[in-house]
Amino acid sequence: MMGITNLNNTHLDNAKLASILDAITTLEIALEDFNINLSPQDRKRYGSINEQNKLLVNKVYDYNKNQPNLSAPDLDWQEFEDDYNSRRNLEGMISRFNSLVTKLVDAKTLHDYDNYHAALEDYAFTSYKAGSSASGFQTKQADLKQFFGRSSAPKKPDTETPESESV
């Protein structure tokens, strides 16, 4: 029985790839002002606003909007609102980017799967041809054999995975 192959037949042609890379470059340029690299220590120090603390920020924002007379007079409320809106907008963008990244990773996973199983098929063919002493196949088989674990019981090529690769 033949396994499922070619799980993703959608491929990037040169024009589509160029268009996507141009769009990424445009995004990188548009987001340059937000390119801040925190050290791991700074990320830990400043990244302490958890979900509970976000609820606090939201509630203070609501009070300031709806009952400003109850807000601390010494705070720069315009800066507070600017930070609040920037955080909300960035959070929305991050969510959308994460969704895109997940979709790209899933598409890549299917291409990896297809490539890997096609490579196993080619290895099985190479082993068959090497056994018949066809020219060049013994060398190819010896070269490819390095990617397979050395166990006492030989495995079938369709279930074997290289040790350093996960599919």
Q: Which residue has the tokens 């002002």?
A: 33
Average pLDDT over the chain reads 88
- Exposure string over 120-150, b if 16+ CB within 10 A, otherwise e: beebeebbebbeeeeeebeebbeebeeebee
Q: Which residue has the tokens 């340029």?
A: 29
Task: Dump pLDDT digits (tens) for 3-60.
Answer: 566 777 889 899 999 999 999 999 999 999 988 899 999 988 888 788 999 999 999 9
Instruction: Judge contact between 130 and 138, C-beta under 8 A.
Output: yes
Note the pLDDT of residue 158.
53
Share of the chain above pLDDT 90, in %: 72
Task: Dump pLDDT digits (tens) for 120-154.
Answer: 999 999 999 999 988 999 999 999 999 988 765 55
Of 153 and 87, which is predicted with more confidence?
87
What band does 165 get if pLDDT is binned at 50, 70 and 90? very low
The full set of domain ranges for the chain reads 19-132
Note the pLDDT of residue 89.
95
The yes-or-no verdict on residue 163 having pLDDT over 50 is no
Contacts of 167 by beta carbon, 8 Å cutoff, 6+ apart: 109, 112, 113, 116, 161
The yes-or-no verdict on residue 62 having pLDDT over 50 is yes
